[in-house]
């Protein structure tokens, strides 16, 4: 559903992605792993139009995203949940969710979004309990739920998650990853960026390993879990054993 070919991306004159080819299949979880600075976040930014890029990104086999603005790409229902959550601190949980609808709702529209809100609250009951609370006052885990919930309000056709586990306690992370699998079961394809490679490979169908702006390794997630190169570089020496992150 998303086909990326020879993608280059630039911060000013610095080339952060150096020719990337990636294909995201419909309905599955695809993960991007790689060490800090590999270019994972940059790749998501390149897809959502937040950075200058060249090459080709074809969505749904007909729409070329290169040259399109972030607003336009968001209207295609490609939703990027950024690293660090970026929820709106001065808006309540409910208002944060409402803002998530903008891509299909329109500035002056009056379309209802109760159904979307209901399903987000069903997925994250915690958010319903906190519906009136301001964004800044939530815990890290709740903020991540809100960031994902806000993205679901946008009726995503592709959901991109950047480091959802960052800074969260292990129990909260495993809860969160169960929710991510649940979301995927609803038929929403997910592009998951994680530094926590073990966790990401567990719930993914397909995986890419990024390094210095290039794809180094790619394949089925279950193959990569046992790939010696991946084990050595990204899973630590005790691969196979459960290890707290």
Complex with Mg ion: residue 49 or 82, whichever CB lies closer = 82
CA 202 – CA 221 distance, rounded (Å) = 7
Q: Binding to other proteins by residue 13, rule CB under 8 A?
A: no
Residue 79 CA to residue 97 CA, distance in Å, equals 14
171 binds ligand ADP (CB under 6 A): no
Using the minimum distance from each CB to ligand ADP, give the nearer residue, 156 or 213. 213
Q: Would you say 29 or 87 has its CB closer to other proteins?
A: 87
Q: Which residues bind Mg ion (CB under 5 A)?
A: 41, 83
82 sits near ligand ADP (criterion: CB under 6 A): no
Instruction: Indicate whether 12 belongs to the interface with other proteins (CB under 8 A).
Output: no
Q: Which helix (H) or strand (E) holds 158?
A: strand 158-162
* Site track 27-66 with ligand ADP (rule: CB under 6 A), x = hit: -------x-xxxxxxx------------------------
Assess 90 for contact with other proteins (CB under 8 A).
yes
Q: CA dist 2 to 57, 63, 187, 198, Å?
A: 7, 9, 15, 24
Least Cβ distance, residue 146 to ligand ADP (angstroms): 21
Smallest gap from Cβ 48 to ligand ADP, in A, equals 13
Q: Which residues contact 209 (CB under 8 A, 6 or more apart)?
A: 32, 33, 34, 215, 216, 217, 218, 224, 230, 234
13 near ligand ADP (CB under 6 A): no
- CA–CA–CA angle 18, 79, 212 (5° rounding): 20
Closest CA relative to residue 17, chosen from 32, 1, 38: 38
Q: Which residues pair with 58 in a beta bridge?
A: 3, 64
CB atoms within 10 A of CB 112: 10
* Rounded distance between C-alpha atoms, residue 168 and residue 237, angstroms: 23
Nearest distance, CB of residue 63 and ligand ADP, angstroms? 24
Among 16, 73, 148, 152, binds ligand ADP (CB under 6 A): 16
Residues lying near other proteins in the complex (CB under 8 A) are found at: 48, 50, 70-71, 73-75, 79-80, 82, 86-91, 95-96, 98-100, 102-103, 105, 107-110, 150, 154
């Amino acid at each position: 559903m998303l086909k990326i070919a020879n993608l280059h991306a630039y911060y000013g004159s610095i080339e952060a992605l150096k020719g990337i080819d990636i294909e995201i299949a419909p309905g599955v979880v695809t993960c991007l792993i790689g060490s800090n600075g590999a270019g994972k976040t940059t790749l998501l930014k390149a897809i959502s139009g937040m950075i200058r890029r060249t090459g080709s990104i074809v969505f749904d086999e007909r729409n070329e995203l290169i040259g399109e603005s972030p607003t336009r790409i968001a209207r295609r229902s490609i939703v990027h949940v950024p690293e660090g959550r970026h929820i709106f601190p001065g808006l309540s949980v409910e208002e944060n969710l409402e803002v998530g609808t903008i891509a299909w709702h329109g500035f002056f529209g009056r379309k209802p979004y109760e159904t979307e809100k209901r399903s987000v609250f069903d997925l994250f009951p915690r958010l319903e309990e906190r519906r009136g609370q301001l964004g800044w006052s939530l815990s890290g885990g709740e903020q991540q739920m809100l960031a994902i919930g806000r993205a679901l309000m946008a009726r995503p056709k592709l959901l991109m998650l950047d480091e959802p586990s960052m800074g969260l306690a292990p129990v909260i992370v495993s809860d969160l990853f169960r929710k991510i699998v649940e979301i995927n079961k609803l038929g929403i394809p997910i592009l998951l960026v994680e530094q926590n490679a073990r966790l990401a490979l567990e719930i993914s169908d397909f995986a890419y390993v990024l390094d210095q702006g290039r794809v180094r390794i790619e394949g089925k997630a279950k193959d990569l879990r046992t790939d010696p190169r991946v084990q050595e570089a990204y899973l630590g020496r005790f691969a196979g054993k459960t290890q707290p992150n």
